[in-house]
């Protein structure tokens, strides 16, 4: 058996699977998101660790004697999030998350000092606010005492691997999201690190996703019941693991993920096939090759925000957190396509592709007295789909074909949302028999690491199966018209949003 863990934005998801990909056990453990200021998003690594331990104990308790058959484990983790360790291996301050946008000034400082051309040449990505590089510079400039304590800077899943094994490593897929890593040559860029004024020795050794970094420590094995001979494999960044778990590992395949953020991902074997303007992320894949990725920051997060702030009546009536989204989407089903003119721009925490603008914020437009809560819910589903289309159109500009996509994530559980995405993107959509996301991909990586599968492609071919297909409907024409308005709304309002952001931050 193989164990995969996704250290996500809202909690830990753990899976135990068979070698054929059957899910034998799964568990979710949540933790708190901290927002101390507008644009700031943090979490406490000790809360991650508590959730990991609790999840491992749940697995061994449920599996009983069979738990000894767990041969290998690997983690997937949120990209870009910064964990700062001191020389005792202790966390210095709360982790700064991928969705945190406090580093606007540091981003500009890096781009101006190093130069966009050099950044795209040396690390193949621009240092967006959510990336690791500007976070480290922010710490250096704003919390110099904490910066002076740094021994190592890790990504979230690498911190958990350290707690499990005592070994300090990262791997290529996560390192590529720091804006400090040469994605093509797979090494830390000494030139960029030096130009920014950071310390090269703060960064860990980098290995393949499928590399075995050690065995689970005896103390942790004793505490959790996990077999002490279980090997810990390096794992991968959440999006790379999500693509792996969906079988999107070959040149030209397309993945759309609707989780907290929304992602469009296309693998490539050609390192020159990337956006020269840097609007697309270009990262290392678990296969040893690369992928282009576009991101909308607030996909499922938009619906979650609306649920938590405006749907207390529905939450109270249902009393089951895992069904509330079904209730909300059922309301939206009765609203016609395009929400009778109500339009949502899902920029709740800034936006990446294609705008790369941390100062814009969400917007409901054309609100009328006719609009109900159901209209707002449907407009959120549609607004996220328009943002995903922005991502797809950016990829098409680079000559990438998007003819059929596989959709994963929480949004893939909604037939209505799938249909909206299919109509807006004007493509057929496939969903999977096992839609367990990055945790499933992490388990496959563990299987390659322990020698159960020959490589990532073999693992995907063995375990990933298609469940259903969704085709576009006659609504595509209406959505086409509104998508053009959606783009015009950004062009007409972003300057005002940026000014409003500056005033609000003072």
* 105 given a catalytic annotation: no
Nearest by Cα to 446 from 252, 225, 235, 245: 235
User: Which residues lie below 8 Å from residue 142, measured CB to CB, with a gap of 6+?
Assistant: none
Q: What are the tokens at 18?
A: 């068979």
378-415 in b/e form (b: 16+ CB < 10 A) is: bbbbbbbbbbbbbbbbbbeeeebebeebbbbbbbbebe
CA 406 to mean position of chain CA atoms: 16
C-alpha to C-alpha distance for 70 and 215, rounded to whole angstroms: 12
CA 290 to mean position of chain CA atoms: 16
Q: Which helix (H) or strand (E) holds 476?
A: helix 476-505
Nearest by Cα to 178 from 122, 144, 130, 138: 130
182, 238, 275, 390: which one is catalytic?
A: 238
In angstroms, what CA-CA distances link 96 with 50, 106, 374?
Answer: 18, 14, 34
Burial of 309 (0-12, 13-18, 19+ CB in 10 A): exposed
Give the catalytic positions in this structure: 238
């Amino acid at each position: 058996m193989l164990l995969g863990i996704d250290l996500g934005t809202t909690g830990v998801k753990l899976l135990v699977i068979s070698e054929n990909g059957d899910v034998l056990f799964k568990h979710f453990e949540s933790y708190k998101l901290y927002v101390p200021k507008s644009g700031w998003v943090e979490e406490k690594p000790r809360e991650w660790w508590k959730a990991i331990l609790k999840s491992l104990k749940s697995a061994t308790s449920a599996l009983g004697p069979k738990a000894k058959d767990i041969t290998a484990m690997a983690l997937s983790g949120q990209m870009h999030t910064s964990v700062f360790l001191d020389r005792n291996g202790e966390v210095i301050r709360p982790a700064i998350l991928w969705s945190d946008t406090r580093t606007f000034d540091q981003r500009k400082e890096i781009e101006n000092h190093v130069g966009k051309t050099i950044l795209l040449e040396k690390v193949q990505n621009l240092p967006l606010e959510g990336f690791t590089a500007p976070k480290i510079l922010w710490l250096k400039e704003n919390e110099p005492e904490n910066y002076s304590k740094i021994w190592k800077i890790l990504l979230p899943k690498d911190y958990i691997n350290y707690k499990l094994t005592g070994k300090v490593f990262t791997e290529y897929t996560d390192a590529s999201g720091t804006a400090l890593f040469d994605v093509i040559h797979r090494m830390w860029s000494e030139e960029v690190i030096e130009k920014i004024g950071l310390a090269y020795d703060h960064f860990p050794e980098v290995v393949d996703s499928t590399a075995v970094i050690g065995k689970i420590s005896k103390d942790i094995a004793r505490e959790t019941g996990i077999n002490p001979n279980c090997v810990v494999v390096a794992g991968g960044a959440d999006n790379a693991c999500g693509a792996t778990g969906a079988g999107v590992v070959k040149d030209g395949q397309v993945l759309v993920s609707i989780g907290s953020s929304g992602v469009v991902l296309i693998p490539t074997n050609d390192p020159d096939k990337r956006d020269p303007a840097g609007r697309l992320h270009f990262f290392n894949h678990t296969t040893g090759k690369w992928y282009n990725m576009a991101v909308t920051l607030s996909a499922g997060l938009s619906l979650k925000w609306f649920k938590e702030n405006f749907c207390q009546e529905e939450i109270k009536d249902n009393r089951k957190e895992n069904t509330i989204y079904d209730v909300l989407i059922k309301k939206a089903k009765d609203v016609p396509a395009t929400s009778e003119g109500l339009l949502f721009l899902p920029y709740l925490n800034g936006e990446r592709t294609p705008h790369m603008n941390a100062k814009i914020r969400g917007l409901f437009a054309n609100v009328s007295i006719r609009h109900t809560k159901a209209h707002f819910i449907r407009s959120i589903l549609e607004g996220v789909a328009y943002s995903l289309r922005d991502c797809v159109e950016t990829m098409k500009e680079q000559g990438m074909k998007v003819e059929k996509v596989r959709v994963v994530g929480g949004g893939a559980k909604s037939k209505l949302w799938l249909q909206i995405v299919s109509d807006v993107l004007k493509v057929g959509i496939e969903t999977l028999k096992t839609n367990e996301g990055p945790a499933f991909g992490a388990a496959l990586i563990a299987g390659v690491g322990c020698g159960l599968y020959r490589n990532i492609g073999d693992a995907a071919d063995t375990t990933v199966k298609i469940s259903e297909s969704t085709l576009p409907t006659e609504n595509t024409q209406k959505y086409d018209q509104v998508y053009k308005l959606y783009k015009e709304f950004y062009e007409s309002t972003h300057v005002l949003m940026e000014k409003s952001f500056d005033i609000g931050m003072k």
